[in-house]
Structure 1
Amino acid sequence: MLQYCTFWVGELFIGIEVSRVQEVLSHSSITPVPLAPVHVKGLINLRGHIVTAIDMGLRLDVGPAGSADGDMMHVILNDDQGLLSLVVDRAGDVVEVDKEAHEDPPDTLQGEARRLIRGAFKLEGRLLLDLDVDYAVAISG
């Protein structure tokens, strides 16, 4: 069994293996970065660490993450390159999935979302999309 940290970006229900996630935070002040790629929302200060914030809505080509009133969540990743924030609409729960139940991405995914999703797991009442984290956080991707 695998554990996935889940979140929503638009209507997409997405998951990342828990081992890649350090923490999930509510809205944090974001400082824009001039001349950065459009999906780089800016920088956040996480307890003295400067963290790049990637707008997953723009990265997935489904519109900016967060609500009209500015509410958003940060999924903080800790990997070889340091800390990164995935800016998402809202956080979900940690769910367990069977590794053998991994399927190809649904044919309904289009464009950039199709390239960023490695596959899917069928859960009760919804489909959990398995995000290719390494590709998603590639700034030039």
Structure 2
Amino acid sequence: MTDHHPARDASPEPFEGSLDYVTVRIGTQLLGLPIQRVRDVFIADRITVVPGAPPEIVGLLNLRGRVVTAICLRQRLQLPALPVDRGALNLTAIGLDHRGEAYALIVDAVGEVLRLDPSTLEPLPGHLDAAWTALAGGVHRLTDQLLVVLDLDVVLDFDLRVAA
């Protein structure tokens, strides 16, 4: 792994009642990950493929001595995965913990940390794709786009299969 950036170091100090998100992009869509769940932002340069794993699981990687399950967020959202050149692997990843296990969400890009007022969190629009609805917890309308807030407990729970 290279280019380690603890998410907490770059974030503003939270203030009482704010909702703070690390933003990521999948294609053109802006997604928010609750900052208190994010442990690392890093570049994955070596992944071991796991035969028989669900298609969303890219493989396993070693992050500072921990075995981490790498999940393709594109595929978890039921979008086509980007082609990966295993010889020149350079994947942007968000490190998370869930139920005592370490995970890396592979994303297209990492953005900035946003601090938003809880009153701006809205329920999911009725027209949102079913796969996205199952994995999201709400939206924030920003000036020029919509921030979809992911429910990381659901994203990382592979016992809950997302309907197509």
Could you state the TM-score of these two structures normalised by the residue count of structure 2?
Answer: 0.78
- Is 2:74 aligned against 1:57? yes
Number of matched residues? 141
Task: Tell me the residue number matched to 1:117.
Answer: 136
Task: Tell me the residue number matched to 2:21.
Answer: 4
Match for 1:10: what amino acid? G
Query: How does 1:55-94 map onto structure 2 within 5 Å?
Result: 55-64=72-81, 71-94=90-113
By how many angstroms is 1:57 displaced? 0.3
Consecutive unaligned residues of structure 1, counting only runs of 5 or more, are none
Consecutive unaligned residues of structure 2, counting only runs of 5 or more, are 1-17
What is the alpha-carbon root mean square deviation over aligned residues? Answer: 1.9
By how many angstroms is 1:32 displaced? 0.8
| Kept in 2: contact 1:4–1:15 (CA 8 A) | yes
- Is 2:46 aligned against 1:29? yes
- Is 2:40 aligned against 1:40? no
By how many angstroms is 1:30 displaced? 1.2
Bigger Rg, which one: 2
Match for 2:156: what amino acid? V
Partner of 1:16: helix, strand, or coil?
A: strand
Task: Tell me the residue number matched to 2:11.
Answer: none
| Kept in 2: contact 1:55–1:65 (CA 8 A) | no
By how many angstroms is 1:108 displaced? 3.8
Task: Mark the CA change 1:38 to 1:58 in structure 2 (over 3 Å): closer, same or farther.
Answer: same
Match for 1:74: what amino acid? A
Could you state the TM-score of these two structures normalised by the residue count of structure 1?
Answer: 0.90
By how many angstroms is 1:70 displaced? 5.4
Distance 1:89 1:70 in 2: 13
| Kept in 1: contact 2:46–2:89 (CA 8 A) | no
Distance 1:95 1:20 in 2: 14
Partner of 1:115: helix, strand, or coil?
A: helix
Deviations 1:60-79 (A, max 9, x none): 01121577885431110124
Distance 1:88 1:77 in 2: 13
Seq. identity, %: 31
